[in-house]
């Protein structure tokens, strides 16, 4: 069993080391490809027709100059070009929860989404800020990964992946909440303004909005939140919708 681990917090992030430690409880064929710096909210963006620098940090560990999703692509197309592809892709552990609109923004989930394009089961892991780390956290997480791997036939169908949010303390019971609304990037701050030129920043943070039954509610109540996501973007229009659209002809 070959496992590829990527993240969006960078090659030196503590959450990455914890996820590697948990994965090593399943198998020692574990590989890491992670950005050379923090790439928060990079989503699933790729570097196309531009150079990517791959730096070997230590055996089986590589730092990539690109985006989180680039890490998956570089692994599939270069690192494992002449070797067996990974059986499982893990991403994280993100420093902070990934909920609501983060499905679109998150580099952690962008990794899992990209892995699904390659037909590889993938799980994105995130955890609340400043958790209460326990001595058995990594072991417990390794058992959770093993359980999810064993049940992959139920969730790893084409185009699907899992998003797992870990609460403050582990071990914890598991819930499958609904996707809520808690958008990041709601405000802007003016840094400098002179004439026609204005510099703004969009600060970190979110409102931590929550409604009963959503992800934030489950996480705040101490549960592990697991959601099955997919990248299928099509929603069928009602029958007859196109009948109301003018049929333009070339003149």
Report how far residue 123's alpha carbon sits from residue 5's, in angstroms, rounded to the nearest whole number. 10
C-alpha to C-alpha distance for 82 and 198, rounded to whole angstroms: 50
Check the annotation: does 130 bind a ligand: no
Q: What DSSP character marks residue 52?
A: -
214 is in an annotated binding site: no
DSSP code of 236? P
Q: Provide the edge-to-edge strand list for the sheet that holds 3-6.
A: 54-58, 61-64, 30-35, 3-6, 88-95, 122-127, 160-166, 224-230, 174-175
CB-based contacts of 134, cutoff 8 Å, min separation 6: 169, 170
Q: Is position 216 annotated in a ligand binding site?
A: no
Residue positions in the annotated binding site?
8-9, 94
As annotated, the binding site for a divalent metal cation includes 8-9, 94
């Amino acid at each position: 069993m070959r496992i590829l681990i990527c993240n969006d917090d960078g090659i030196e992030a503590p959450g990455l080391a914890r996820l590697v430690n948990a994965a090593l409880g399943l198998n020692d064929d574990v590989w890491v490809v992670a950005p050379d710096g923090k790439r928060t909210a990079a989503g699933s963006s790729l570097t196309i027709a531009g150079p990517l620098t791959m730096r070997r940090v230590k055996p089986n560990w590589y730092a990539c100059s690109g985006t989180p999703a680039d890490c998956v692509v570089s692994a599939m197309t270069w690192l494992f070009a002449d070797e067996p592809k990974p059986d499982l892709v893990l991403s994280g552990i993100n420093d902070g929860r990934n909920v609501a609109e983060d499905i679109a923004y998150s580099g952690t989930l962008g990794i899992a989404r990209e892995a699904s394009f390659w037909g590889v089961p993938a799980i994105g892991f995130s955890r609340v800020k400043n958790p209460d780390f326990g001595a058995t956290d990594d072991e417990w997480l390794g058992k959770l990964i093993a359980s999810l791997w064993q049940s992959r036939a139920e969730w790893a169908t084409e185009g699907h992946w899992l998003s797992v949010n870990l609460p403050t303390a582990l071990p914890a019971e598991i819930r499958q909440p609904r996707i809520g609304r808690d958008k990041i990037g709601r405000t802007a701050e003016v840094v400098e303004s002179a004439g026609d030129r204005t510099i703004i920043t969009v600060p970190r943070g979110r409102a931590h909005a929550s409604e009963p039954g959503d992800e934030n509610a489950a996480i705040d109540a101490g549960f592990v939140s697991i959601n099955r996501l997919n990248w299928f973007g099509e929603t069928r229009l009602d029958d007859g919708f196109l009948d109301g659209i003018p049929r333009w002809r070339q003149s």
